[in-house]
Amino acid sequence: FAGADIRNIQLDINLKNRIAGLNFSSSMENSSVRLNGDVDISSNVIKLLLDTLDLNYNGFRLINKQRTEIDYARNDINFKNFVLGRDSAQLIIKGTLSKYYNQNLNISFINFKGRDIVTTLLQLKVESAPDANISCNTDISGTFTNPIIKFSLNFDNVSYKNNNFGSFTGGFNYLNKNLAFDFKFLSQQLNPNDAALKINGNLPIDLAFLGANERINNNSPVDFKMTADNFNLGAFGDMLPLIKRLSGALKANLEITGSFNDLKPNGFIEMSNVLFVAENNNIEYNAELKATILNQNLNLENLVLQNIPGEKDGGKITGNGTAVLNGCKLVSSDLNINGDVKVLN
């Protein structure tokens, strides 16, 4: 069920006076886990006391710097001392997770490095990896069937190839099967008076840990809004699929209302001075896009995809036209796409 071969399993247990000495290690492809400590079963509360908790995936290693203690009593798990570190970064879990009573759990990630994460977990090359100082915090209360979740996230000093793009910050609150989210990209250089990119809204989602009949309510109201004011697309670095070395500007005011069964998009999106390299052929392209959506009618005012100047045998594709939408699906179209571009060297 793990989806990969589990190798080098080692387990050593010594039981004395209802305290079990535990020594466990195992590896699976590019991951490994190592535990060393005691399991105290001498009372009604089972205590897991680990002198060593070592988790490793693709070289991203988290290890406890002090003794880890997790208690289990009937249907409650109490994280009394759970701190995993990686250099100056820390993962901290504290509080209680309860099956039948209210939760009181806090999970925090402090001072993680974006470049470290994407070069290990996502296996991007160092020169292609964006960077940021990453911290997030999650508070969980309520019950298993009706949890209350507050989540905050901060990507500070987002940079790519020695260019600083600003900070990405925000979070979400979950209550009564509704996820209210609000995220902003702030850049003093691009837009000192307001956020360069805003994403906010409400989604009807059931995040119950237990007893959820359907995760997504297709008939409840949806509210999604994205606004952008010359947002620098280079902030994404090489994280988007199929392309690398992305740059350009994004302007947008796009809102989606209705329900998941009947989505109603309205607004505009405009991308200018876009440059990117296609991963499959390593050819650089320039692109532009301007489109508006109003009352299920899409108006493609301008579409350009072309090889950069100086590319031998390069070309250009242009497009415009209209289309009718049903939600976010294309029903009919009258689009004019003409030209050609070089796709093979």
pTM, to two decimals: 0.85
Which string of DSSP letters, residue by residue, matches 85-140? EETTEEEEEEEEEESSS--EEEEEEEEEEHHHHHHHTS---GGG--EEEEEEEEEE
Which tens digits make up the pLDDT trace of 232-250? 888 887 778 888 889 999 9
Q: Does residue 191 have a pLDDT over 70?
A: no
Q: Cα 298 to the chain's mean position, in Å?
A: 29
Higher pLDDT: 327 or 259? It is 259
Q: Does residue 173 have a pLDDT over 50?
A: yes
pLDDT value of position 192: 63
Which tens digits make up the pLDDT trace of 293-340? 999 999 999 999 999 998 999 999 999 999 999 888 889 999 999 999
Which tens digits make up the pLDDT trace of 64-82? 989 999 999 988 999 999 9
Q: At a CB cut-off of 8 Å and minimum separation 6, what does 116 contact?
A: 60, 86, 87, 89
Higher pLDDT: 236 or 177? It is 177
